[in-house]
């Protein structure tokens, strides 16, 4: 868990450090389009990364529950669907960013 938090913090620091020299009074449209694509990619990438970590945890616990009590299979699928919705929210945000 600590390693995951470290990786997220490192990615956030690197992404913020890349914007350090990009403050201009008036930017061109190419720069704005580049930042739009970068923001859309980060929105989906971070959401997919988080959903992948969550699915790993929920999937492992869900398989353990189903092996002990197969009647709880539908409840496990609900939890897996809730975790997958995080990635869907990331895709929606990506399309919202690209649509502007």
How far apart are the C-alpha atoms of 50 and 44, rounded to whole Å?
Answer: 10
Give the integer Cα–Cα distance in Å for 39 and 37: 5
Q: What is the pLDDT of residues 16-37, one digit of tens each?
A: 555 555 555 555 567 778 889 9
Instruction: Domain ranges for the chain, please list them.
Output: 32-100
What value does the mean pLDDT take over residues 30-47?
88
What is this structure's pTM? 0.64
- Beta carbons within 10 angstroms of residue 88's beta carbon: 12
Q: Which CATH class is domain 32-100?
A: mainly alpha
Distances (CA, A) of 28 to 87, 93, 100: 32, 24, 16
Percentage above 70 pLDDT, the chain: 71
């Amino acid at each position: 868990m600590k390693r995951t938090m470290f990786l997220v913090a490192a990615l956030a620091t690197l992404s913020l450090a890349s914007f350090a020299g990009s403050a201009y009074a008036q930017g061109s449209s190419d720069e704005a389009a580049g930042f739009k694509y970068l923001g859309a990619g980060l929105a989906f990438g971070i959401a997919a990364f988080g959903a992948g970590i969550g699915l790993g945890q929920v999937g492992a616990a869900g398989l353990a529950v189903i092996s002990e009590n197969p009647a709880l299979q539908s409840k496990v699928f609900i939890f897996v669907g809730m975790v997958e919705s995080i990635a869907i929210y990331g895709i929606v945000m990506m399309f919202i960013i690209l649509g502007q």
